[in-house]
Structures are given as structure tokens and as C-alpha cells.
Amino acid sequence: MNMELMMQYITYGLMALGVLAFLVAVIVQVIKELPGLNKIPTSIVALAVSLILCPMAVIILCQYFKITIVWYYVFAAFIAAFVVYVIATGGWERAAEIWQRTRYKRGKISK
């Protein structure tokens, strides 16, 4: 696999994560005040929406591109759902903060 093709796949993957995180955030904002859901914490609603939306998106894409659905596609979608959940609930700031705390600084190791 050449680097150009790999970068294209990485770009598609990041784009898919961003679109799914946006959809999760919008859906959660719309449904979080529904009766019955307003007593549940928003982060749990976001996780549930993400766990439903990601496998559903994989199945829809497989149907659209006429790809045979294999069990590990669905399993990978469930794993990706947790990443989408973290991104949708403000995970970029947390990830950037962890990176800033743990990265190597010239001349010393940060704690």
C-alpha cells in the first residue's frame, strides 16, 4: 500500500469520525429534553446514540457500496462508537490537554 492511498484512507476515516460526532451531538441536543430522557445524564444519552448510529452507518455504507457485511465490520463500528462519543462530548479539548501534559519538552520531561 503506498503512502498516498493510506493518507486518503486516513482522511476518509477522520472525516467519517467528524461527521458521526456532529450527528451524535445534534441528535443528543434534539432528544435530550424528551420526557423520560431528561432524567438521564446527557453523556449516557450521547453514548447510547453513538452506539446505535455508528453500526447503523457501517451497515448503510456496506449496503450502498454493495460490500458483504462481515462481523468484524460491526465490531469495529462499536469500537469506533466510543471514539465518536468522546469526540462528540468535547474530547478534542481533553485529548489536547493530555497531550500538552505528557509531551516531551526540550531539556526536561514534563510531569
Cα separation, 29 vs 26, in Å, equals: 5
Render the burial of 61-88: b for 16+ CB within 10 Å, e for the rest.
eeeeeeeeeeeeeeeebeebbeebbbbb
Could you tell me the pTM of the whole model?
A: 0.76
* 32 in Cβ contact with 45 (< 8 Å): yes
Give the pLDDT score at 42.
86
57-97, pLDDT tens digit by residue? 999 999 999 999 999 999 999 999 999 999 888 876 776 77
55, 49 Cβ separation under 8 angstroms: no
Contact 87, 18 (CB under 8 A): yes
pLDDT band for position 28 (cuts 50, 70, 90): very high
